[in-house]
Structure 1
């Protein structure tokens, strides 16, 4: 009999606790559900004031403040063809391996092409120095992507006031 009396008492406590927990849970949900829309509205107002939204009058201001118009940007981009650079690779096995690379560099912000052509030897030196530090297995597979990114990084540092936007590797031969 004591077992029967103890069981309903525990059941009553069990029924009371979840009901109390549901109230707490519903309050949390209510607070959360009211806070999320307030945060979204606040973020939208902040984005509108910072001219980050693409619609309305603020989108036009963002386009002009952030980037120049496409016709202006196209007139400032120059494509500089770099002659072939040949370097021996660091093989480590005593066997000499050579690499030949031809590329074009896209430069933004330069006034004319003749000023850039005077810096072609500097570009070739950057190419040859990096290629000489590379190993033959570094140029296979995804190494080609790493080669391109490393050369872009080095060119951007060397041409700091100008912007190197891209490098187009047109020929890469290993022997």
Structure 2
């Protein structure tokens, strides 16, 4: 009898604890899944509200004025993007081919980019485009093949090109440099 009581007491108590722990574990797992789903749904809602999905379509520029009024009331993030399009003047620069610095066999870089002129400065920037190219030539010729490795290489090159363009023409003339092609041979 003592064995039966001991067995019943020993098996009865851990089974109840196991049920309680298993129930709590399942409840926590369900809560984590629900919170994750809510966070994902919130992220999707936030992304669509700020206009992140719209640039994928080709008609974004046609819709920009209609969205500008709505976006400006929500912190200005959507309005900032719609303000940038009408005032931007894109000046395509002829492709440049420059040899890279290095001791081994000759390596070249072919670069095609667009200069974004500030509002009302398009004609001035177009007229002084040779000055921009002259400012960029020494920088591009000093690049080594190792400078083009990694994911941040294009960003660093773009920032340096923007800095040198602004230095050559003066502040407020060039808003951005958009790299279209960067090919190393």
Please give the range of the TM-score, normalised by the shorter of the 2 chains. Answer: 0.5 to 0.7
- For 1:109, the equivalent position in structure 2 comes to 117
Calculate the TM-score normalised by the size of structure 1.
0.57
Write 1 or 2 for the structure with the bigger share of strand: 1
Q: Secondary structure at the match of 1:98?
A: coil
Task: After TM superposition, list the pairs within 5 Å mapping 1:37-56 onto structure 2.
Answer: 43=42, 47=46, 51-52=49-50
After superposition, residues 17-28 of structure 1 pair within 5 angstroms as 17-21=17-21, 24-25=24-25, 28=28
Contact 2:136 2:165 in 1 (8 A): no
**How far apart are the structure 2 equivalents of 1:103 and 1:14?**
72
- Mapping 1:116-155, distance limit 5 Å: 116-130=129-143, 134=144, 138=146, 143=149, 148=154, 150-155=156-161
TM-score if structure 2 supplies the norm length? Answer: 0.54
Cα RMSD for the two superposed structures: 4.6
| Residue pairs, 1:1-16, within 5 angstroms | 2-16=2-16
Compare CA radii of gyration and give the structure with the larger one.
1
Alignment deviations for residues 21-68 of structure 1 (CA, whole Å, 9 cap, x no partner): 355457657866886787678x48x949x952679xxx9233851423
The number of aligned residues is 153
Q: Structure 1: which 5+ residue stretches go unaligned? A: none
Q: 1-side partners of 2:180 and 2:81: how far apart?
A: 21
